[in-house]
Amino acid sequence: MAGPPLFVVFNLASGRGDREEVRREIESACAAQGRQADLLSVDAPNRLMETAREAVRRAKAASGIVVAAGGDGTLSAVAQATLGSGCPYGVLPRGTFNYFSRTHGISADIREAMKTLLEESPQPVQVGLVNGRAFLVNASVGLYPQLLEDRESWKQRIGRSRLVALGAGIATLLKGHRSLRLRFDAPDAPDAPQELRTPTLFVGNNALQMEQVGLPESRAIDRGRLAGVALKPVGRWALLGLLLRGALGRLGEADALVDFSFKRLTVRARRFGTRRVKVATDGEIVWMQLPLTFEVSPEPLMLVRPRGLAPERAAQQAQRDDAPLAETERSLP
């Protein structure tokens, strides 16, 4: 008996690789198993949410699966439309970093990703919200959104790669920055600061990303919380040092970090007259009204994924868990 049909939101403007090859692989994999696949192509960014909602509408009517094919922004937008609909959600990752898919054991290879979609079952995964907008990997205010804007500009001119992303980050930090004066209200996080001057606030929902740059509080995400990280005010050269630490996976060793975990956090600006701020959610930049409320979504996203911990995630966790033992061994005579 054939399984549920797939309704694929295929963003032609995002991700990388041969679009026609992706289309052929989707169609041939589904045909081999007698499964229906409807591809809803998106050729302009302003049509992404409209197309995602249409995919959800069709999936609900046919008891099907909503699938996002594209980069992080596409995955996040389609997740936003799918959350709360009762429809399963699948991904065909085509981005540069693919933290969400890697965390959940979904391959960037289109054939392997299709195999997962057609053979595995939906499992609940945590989603973060900022003022009701879903994010799968992270959300941020301050310097980090500017880093993302500049990185995207570099990618459009030079190409997509991790080296380009690093170069764009260095250039942004050298331009200087302005700190934000923020007030925090997090009833379930006694270690959170009440007030802080910071160049950026970063809220993580992806333990793999945080572990790879050495950020603290990655364990909190595994316990159903979000991880908050803010920087103390520092100069541009110190910021460059933090960027280097992140590239080496040692950011958590920096004294300039303030970190805490929470289920719900309200952020207000101390400066009078500040009503809107620029917010980055999974690489997409939007303006939002203050105050900002970051929280764990009360309902999970039902992601089609392999069971168990993804191999890369398991390796990172094992390395993290072995770290105290390694430090002890190094200190022995």
Q: Do residues 228 and 201 touch, judged by C-beta distance below 8 A?
A: yes
* 194 and 213 assigned to the same domain: yes
Given a contact cutoff of 8 angstroms between Cβ atoms, the answer to whether 261 and 227 are in contact is yes
Q: Residues 283, 145: one domain? A: yes
Helices (H), 254-310: none
The Cα-based distances of 247 to 169, 202, 236 in angstroms read: 11, 17, 17
**DSSP string across 26-48:** HHHHHHHTT--EEEEEE-SGGGH
Q: Give the structural domain span for 96.
A: 6-126+299-317
Tokens 């994924």, located at residue = 305
* Confidence (pLDDT) at 199: 85
Name the band, by pLDDT with cuts 50, 70 and 90, for residue 1.
low
CATH number where 46 lies: 3.40.50.10330
Is the predicted pLDDT of residue 123 greater than 50, yes or no?
A: yes
Q: Which of 79-83, 110-114, 133-137, 320-324 has the lowest mean pLDDT?
A: 320-324
Q: Could you say which DSSP state residue 272 is in?
A: T
For residues 164-191, give the mean pLDDT.
76
Average pLDDT over residues 132-159: 78
Instruction: Give the closest residue to 268 by CA, choosing from 286, 293, 233.
Output: 293
Do 46 and 16 fall within a single domain?
A: yes
CATH code assigned at 161? 2.60.200.40
Say which amino acid occupies 36: Q
**172 plus 280 within the same structural domain:** yes
Q: Domain for residue 1, yes or no?
A: no
Tell me which residue of 44, 23, 31 sits closest to 5, measured CA to CA.
Answer: 31
Q: Please tell me what DSSP assigns to residue 291.
A: S
Indicate the SS3 state at residue 118: helix
Based on the fold, state whether residues 265 and 145 are members of the same structural domain: yes
Of 120 and 16, the one with more pLDDT = 120
Q: Are residues 284 and 202 in the same domain?
A: yes
Same domain, 289 and 143: yes
Sign (positive or negative) of CA dihedral 147, 69, 316, 125: positive
Q: What is the DSSP string of 312-324?
A: HHHHHHHHHHHHH
How much is the pLDDT for 176?
Answer: 60
Q: Kindly state whether residue 218 falls inside one of the protein's structural domains.
A: yes
* Residue 323 lies inside a defined structural domain of this protein: no
Please indicate, yes or no, if residue 269 is contained in any of the structural domains: yes
Residue 41 and residue 167 in one domain: no
Q: Are residues 290 and 306 in the same domain?
A: no
Q: Given the structure tokens 């046919």, which residue do they identify? A: 62
> Residue 235: how many CA atoms within 13 Å on its side-chain side?
1
Q: Which of 61-65, 190-194, 243-247, 281-285 has the lowest mean pLDDT?
A: 243-247
- The torsion angles phi and psi of 141, rounded to 5 degrees, stand at -135, 160
Query: Which tokens in the block code for residue 72?
Result: 């992080």
pLDDT of 162 > 80? The answer is: no
Q: Alpha-carbon distance 114 to 92, whole Å?
A: 7
Alpha carbon distance 61, 140 (integer Å)? 36
Per-residue model confidence (pLDDT) at position 134: 97
Residue 329 covered by a domain: no
Q: What is the mean pLDDT of residues 250-270?
A: 82
Percent of the chain with pLDDT over 90: 53
Environment class of 47 (CB within 10 Å of its CB; exposed 0-12, middle 13-18, buried 19+)? middle
Task: Report how far Cα 242 is from the mean position of its chain's Cα atoms.
Answer: 21
| pLDDT band, residue 32 (cuts 50/70/90) | very high
**Residues 118 and 86: beta-carbon distance below 8 Å:** no
Has residue 114 been placed in a domain? yes
Do 204 and 167 reside in the same domain of the chain?
A: yes
Quote the number of domains for the chain: 2
Instruction: Find the Cα–Cα–Cα–Cα dihedral 94, 47, 87, 40, rounded to 10°.
Output: -70
* % of the chain with per-residue pLDDT over 70: 74
Whole-number average pLDDT of the chain? 83
Which CB contacts under 8 angstroms, 24+ apart, belong to 310-314? 310/102, 310/103, 310/104, 310/105, 310/106, 311/105, 312/102, 312/103, 312/105, 312/208, 313/102, 313/103, 313/105, 313/207, 313/208
In this structure, the answer to whether residues 115 and 155 fall within a common structural domain is no
Q: Are 59 and 65 in contact (CB under 8 A)?
A: yes
In a domain, 166, yes or no: yes
Residue whose tokens read 């997090």: 186
72, 93 in Cβ contact below 8 A?
no
Q: Is residue 207, in this structure, part of any structural domain at all?
A: yes
| Structure tokens belonging to residue 221 | 């995400």
Residues 171 and 245 in one domain: yes
pLDDT at 161: 62
DSSP designation for 201: E
